[in-house]
Amino acid sequence: MSRCVLERLEGGERAVVRAIQRRALHLAVVGGPLLLLCRPDVPLAPNAFAVDVEPDAALEDQGFRVGHVVSFSGGAPSGHDADWRIALETAVPWEPRPAIAPITPRDLAHRVRGTRAVVVAEGAGESLLPLLWARERGVHGLGSEFAGRAGRAARRLCDAAIRDDASAVARAAVGLAGLGPGLTPSGDDLLAGFVAAWTLVGDALAVDHAARARVTGAVLAGAARGASPLGRIWLEHACRGELLEPMTRFIATLLAPDACGLDAAVRDALAIGSSSGTDWMVGFLLGSTAMLEATTAVRSW
């Protein structure tokens, strides 16, 4: 269970099942955020916890239904009190904020180049992958109106972040939030990766916290209305450096003293969803590059 979920659920809380997928449920806590209840084979998110159910069966086949009440209090459910009980006292905490070490701009630039190479070679084709070379070649000819719109907004986002122009950052985020199909649209994933870079890479480079908070706060404010419910929550977590499990491992590896196993960690992050992992990595690479350009003379590629 994510440390964030444990902190949010102090006991006596209840949630209602709002949506059911094969491997995860969406739980709405009264007066609180959206939580994810997952099968044990699903990578954890910062707002998620896994339960010990049959790993290959759909959660609906386990008896979960939309409208069911899930209790996080002690004791077994009785009468109409709740349909399910989650025993928090047996939970194993998981930390969604990766441990990082200080890094020099030159070392980071070298690792960003290696990460980009893997993403370009193995990223999902139906994604925002072309945006990685849009800044060098322009946004024309990106292959679709969708990619062209995302490319223009992403370029404005990077340029505004470099200038520390919070108003322009927010306007660029408006153009990306909710853009594209999926449970978490491509634009939401890109923004989450961008914010993760400014939060965690900025920590590793010891960049002024207040300056970074202006950028990440502006992204969150600009995306607030257009982002999907799940995308908005993951953006809020990214502002605090709290990420999905594969992304946590990737950044911990990227910013470790030796970066051993970096290529494998990149591939694990790319494997999230049909294109979510790729779109998140595109945002992270754009964000890391923008931060290097804003704070140093080192170019990442």
Q: What angle do CA 88, 231, 204 make, to 5 degrees?
A: 85
pLDDT at position 174:
97
Instruction: Determine contact, residues 192/178, Cβ cutoff 8 Å.
Output: no
Task: Give me 163's structure tokens.
Answer: 């200038």
- 239: how many CB neighbours lie within 10 A of its CB? 20
153: enclosing H helix or E strand: helix 145-163
Cα distance between the two ends of the chain: 38
Query: Could you tell me if 284 and 194 are in contact, meaning their C-beta atoms sit under 8 angstroms apart?
Result: yes
- State residue 161's pLDDT score: 97
Block residue for tokens 């590629």:
301
Task: Say which residues have a Cβ less than 8 Å from residue 264's Cβ, sequence separation at least 6.
Answer: none
Rounded Cα distance between 264 and 262, Å, is: 5
DSSP 200: I
**H or E element, residue 14:** strand 14-20
Give the whole-angstrom CA distance, residue 235 versus residue 253.
Answer: 21
The pLDDT value recorded for residue 301 is 45
Question: What is the domain partition of the chain in residue ranges?
Answer: 3-90, 105-295
- CA distance readout (Å), 205 to 90, 108, 144, 247, 257: 38, 9, 36, 19, 13
Count CB neighbours of 146 within 10 A: 16
**Across the 301 residues of the chain, what is the mean pLDDT of every consecutive 10-residue run?**
86 84 88 86 93 83 91 59 84 93 95 97 92 64 73 96 97 96 90 98 95 97 95 96 98 95 97 95 97 75 45
Q: Shortest CA distance to 188 belongs to which of 171, 174, 170, 168?
A: 174
Written out in words, the top-level CATH class of the domain with range 3-90 is mainly beta
pLDDT value, residue 30: 76
The pLDDT value given to residue 134? 67
How far apart are alpha carbons 261 and 31 in whole angstroms? Answer: 41
What's the confidence (pLDDT) of residue 74?
53
Q: pLDDT tens across 75-132, in order? A: 554 445 789 888 888 888 999 999 999 999 999 999 999 999 999 999 998 899 999 9
Closest alpha carbon to 186 in 216, 144, 140, 218: 144
